């Protein structure tokens, strides 16, 4: 059995476990499995975008760079045990992610490459897949290039799929809608609680919880936010609203266009010649019985709460 078959099988089993746990122990009760944006996240981001970006990153960026540099012939770190290599690349990459992610939240231009990820209104196992193509291109090139450069070809061929599998599993885990109480473990590693808060549309968390695997980066650099965990006490224990505080397109191509050129979302989405294209995916899902009829779906608006002014955080 090839390593790819093994990692894919593990990922599928993991996905089923996470979905089962979400159904049994939901963090936010009442979320639908086939929620708004399900098709977009699964088909466009998880399958199509990932497929093309993998080719672009490995075949057109990392491999040509490796051929020019010829570093892997040396295999500088190849003599390390496999577990140490995986751990080393996990920690160093998460350290990079912490700072780049933080920069994306503070810089207006870089925010355009990250807002897609925050546009999900239902944070579940699939939500993490929604990331702008440019964000994935930058992050995964920086993630996998050192593995290819610092290891010989044979070792890299093992470490790359293992690292990719852990990323995918961890992504599903931190975004999952599972009500897991990790307690003090959250000073060290990330779980759903801290990342659910990162996706909340509450002003207090617009600049918090940047790490994805090792929460200690947030606690060390002063950006950790988790009600109930010292030093923070907060009036509410769970977010009340998710997503962006402004209009954002629903379609994959419009989302990418919007990141380069701002437009009136409602006006563009209602253009008569664009509407049939925007609605065919929803129509197909309805036809397959995977989403509720349009009328009902349109009347279910998320509650509009201004928790930021009503419930200020208190530090102890
Ligand atoms: Zn973010
Ligand atoms: Zn996320």
Q: What does each C-alpha distance from 138 to 61, 120, 164, 267 come to in angstroms?
A: 11, 21, 15, 32
Report yes or no on 190 lying in a domain.
yes
Q: Is 313's pLDDT higher than 80?
A: no
Q: What are phi and psi of 26, to 5 degrees?
A: -70, 140
> Under a CB-based contact definition with an 8 Å cutoff, are residues 26 and 196 in contact?
no
Looking at the CA of 194, name the nearest ligand.
Answer: 2
Q: How many domains does the chain have?
A: 1
User: Pick the residue with more confidence: 94 or 296?
Assistant: 94
Report yes or no on 205 lying in a domain.
yes
Q: Rounded mean pLDDT of 185-196?
A: 95
- Structure confidence by residue, pLDDT tens digits, 105-118: 999 999 999 999 99
Ligand 1: distance of its center to the CA of 3 in Å? 32
- Structure confidence by residue, pLDDT tens digits, 90-143: 999 999 999 999 999 999 999 999 999 999 999 999 999 999 999 999 999 999
Ligand 2: distance of its center to the CA of 215 in Å? 14
> Under a CB-based contact definition with an 8 Å cutoff, are residues 215 and 188 in contact?
yes
pTM of the complete model: 0.87
How many Cα atoms occupy the beta-carbon half-sphere of 301 within 13 Å?
Answer: 4
| DSSP H or E segment with residue 100 | helix 82-106
Report yes or no on 110 lying in a domain.
yes
User: Please, which pLDDT band fits residue 233 given cuts at 50, 70 and 90?
Assistant: low
Q: Is 65's pLDDT higher than 60?
A: yes
> Under a CB-based contact definition with an 8 Å cutoff, are residues 79 and 155 in contact?
no
Q: Rounded mean pLDDT of 251-268?
A: 96
Report yes or no on 153 lying in a domain.
yes
Report yes or no on 282 lying in a domain.
no
CA atoms of 257 and 251, how far apart (whole Å): 10
Report yes or no on 268 lying in a domain.
no
Report yes or no on 301 lying in a domain.
no
Looking at the CA of 195, name the nearest ligand.
Answer: 2
Looking at the CA of 174, name the nearest ligand.
Answer: 2
Range of the domain at 188: 3-233
Report yes or no on 45 lying in a domain.
yes
Ligand 1: distance of its center to the CA of 117 in Å? 7
């Amino acid at each position: 059995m090839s390593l790819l078959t093994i990692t894919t099988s593990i990922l599928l089993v993991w996905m089923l476990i996470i979905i089962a746990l979400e159904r049994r122990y939901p963090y936010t009760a009442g979320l639908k499995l086939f929620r708004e944006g399900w098709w977009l996240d699964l088909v466009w981001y998880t399958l199509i975008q990932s497929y093309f970006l993998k080719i672009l990153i490995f075949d057109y960026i990392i491999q040509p760079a490796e051929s020019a540099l010829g570093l892997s012939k040396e295999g500088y770190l190849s003599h390390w045990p496999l577990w140490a290599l995986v751990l080393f690349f996990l920690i160093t990459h998460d350290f990079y992610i912490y700072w780049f992610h933080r920069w994306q939240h503070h810089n207006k231009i870089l925010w355009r490459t990250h807002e897609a990820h925050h546009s999900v209104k239902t944070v579940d196992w699939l939500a993490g897949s929604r990331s702008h193509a440019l964000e994935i291109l930058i992050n995964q090139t920086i993630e996998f290039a050192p593995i290819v450069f610092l290891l010989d070809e044979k070792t890299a061929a093992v470490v790359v799929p293992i690292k990719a599998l852990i990323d995918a599993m961890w992504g599903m885990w931190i975004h999952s809608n599972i009500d897991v109480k990790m307690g003090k473990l959250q000073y060290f590693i990330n779980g759903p609680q801290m990342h659910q808060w990162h996706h909340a549309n509450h002003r207090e968390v617009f600049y918090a919880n940047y790490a994805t695997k090792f929460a200690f980066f947030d606690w060390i650099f002063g950006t950790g936010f988790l009600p109930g965990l010292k030093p923070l006490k907060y009036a509410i224990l769970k977010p009340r609203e998710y997503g962006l505080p402004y209009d954002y397109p629903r379609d994959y191509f419009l989302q990418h266009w919007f990141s380069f050129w701002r437009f009136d979302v409602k006006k563009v989405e209602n253009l008569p010649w664009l509407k049939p294209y925007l609605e065919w995916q929803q129509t197909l899902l309805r036809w397959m019985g995977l989403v509720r009829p349009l009328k009902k779906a349109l009347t279910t608006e998320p509650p509009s709460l201004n928790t930021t002014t009503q419930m200020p955080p208190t530090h102890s």
